[in-house]
Amino acid sequence: MQMPCFAVSISSALASRKIIHCDCDCFYAAVEMRDNTALASLPIAVGGRADQRGVIATCNYEARRFGVRSAMATAQALQRCPDLIVLPPAMEKYRIASRQILAIYRDYTELVEPLSLDEAYLDVSGASHCQGSATLMAQEIRHRIHDTVGITASAGIAPNKFLAKIASDWNKPNGQYVIRPKEVDAFVAALPVDKLFGVGTVTAKKLHKLGAKTYADLRAWSMLELQHHFGKFGERLYELCRGIDTREVSPERERKSVSVEETYAVDLPDVLACREQLPELMQQLQRRIERAKVANAIRKLFVKIRFADFQKTTAECLSKTLDRDLLETLLDKAYARGNRPVRLLGVGVRVDELAEERNQLGLFHPDFMSDVA
């Protein structure tokens, strides 16, 4: 069902919003180059060791010229760039820089939504700095990060979060890009569907197969047609291809899950070997749940497996407690789907409410250095 009035009302709301997405350039690597200027002209990366199946967390632009990128296996990165210098992560040093960066962001607005140690959305719609100009605020923030922290940052300025994040990548490194309300329609129409928020490789291939290469192509489809092909995500596609994103910048981001995982230097040969790893994983998970203060918010348990051939699967069930018997049952169920050696094993809980202390997860947790989550 088409909803033209909805689109018009959203467009009016977009015009009054000023969202900045700030993202430091190759953050971990940038901090390392700041502290050792001799590294600046060399290809460097921060990540795990190749002999421990490590991955690259981030790399500088010298390394990217060889095709090295974040989330790539360190061994593969070294094949592409034999002279690559791989540094172990120095998380405390990065956290100190992060606190400085977030303090700068919060000088301009209380509406700061951190996405990682160095990246955040800022809603400056009502800010009085720089005579209310979001463009000038972004420029000033970037200059302050350079002067205070000693690294560069890029920024995107737009009427919503979706577009601001795309814009921040437009003139990297050390640049910024503005998408004004009147420019949204034309800008979005020309974007490839791969740039859609939430579209991964599989969905992108499906879109291409259906004849959609750009956002403009998607606009020819009704919401019902998109829902038919992509389920609930079809409604999101309908909005994003029109530049519509009503999400607010929220300083309090809801936590969805807490988990731990381990990549093994030698594959676990069978389900019994996997079971033997559960007690240690559960202890780690229990400590993380306690730190996150979400013990009373658990609603599901899950087990994640990545097999030796890199195929992965997750099994989950309803539960309000961390139950070993249930985790063993989930492990058996997940393992039966592949029935072959396991390289990565993870356990976790899904929760309902925000943790009081938000941990840095995903790429920015030290556990990531052992493998891709």
H or E segment and range at residue 333: helix 324-336
Under 8 Å between Cβ of 313 and 338: yes
118 labelled binding-site residue = yes
Say how many residues make up the chain.
Answer: 373
**Contacts of 247 by beta carbon, 8 Å cutoff, 6+ apart:** 160, 161, 162
Composition of the chain by helix, strand, coil, percent to 5: 45, 20, 35
**Alpha helices, DSSP H, located in 119-249:** 134-149, 161-168, 184-189, 201-209, 215-218, 223-230, 233-240
Three-state DSSP at 271 gives helix
Give the pairing of strands 298-307 and 342-351. Answer: antiparallel
The rounded Cα 346 to chain-centroid distance in angstroms is 19
> Could you tell me if 235 and 226 are in contact, meaning their C-beta atoms sit under 8 angstroms apart?
yes
Q: Confirm or deny that 23 is annotated as ligand binding.
A: yes
Is residue 77 within 8 A of residue 45, CB to CB? The reply is yes
Which residues are identified as catalytic? 119
* Number of helical (H) and strand (E) elements in the chain, helices listed first: 14, 12
Peptide bond into 4 cis (omega under 30): no
Q: Which residues partner with 45 through β-bridges?
A: 59, 86
**Are residues 353 and 257 in contact, defined by beta-carbon separation less than 8 angstroms?**
no
**DSSP labels, 279-311:** HHHHHHHHHHHHHHT-GGGEEEEEEEEEETTS-
Please enumerate, by residue number, every residue annotated as part of a binding site: 23, 118
Please enumerate, by residue number, every residue annotated as part of a binding site for Mg(2+): 23, 118
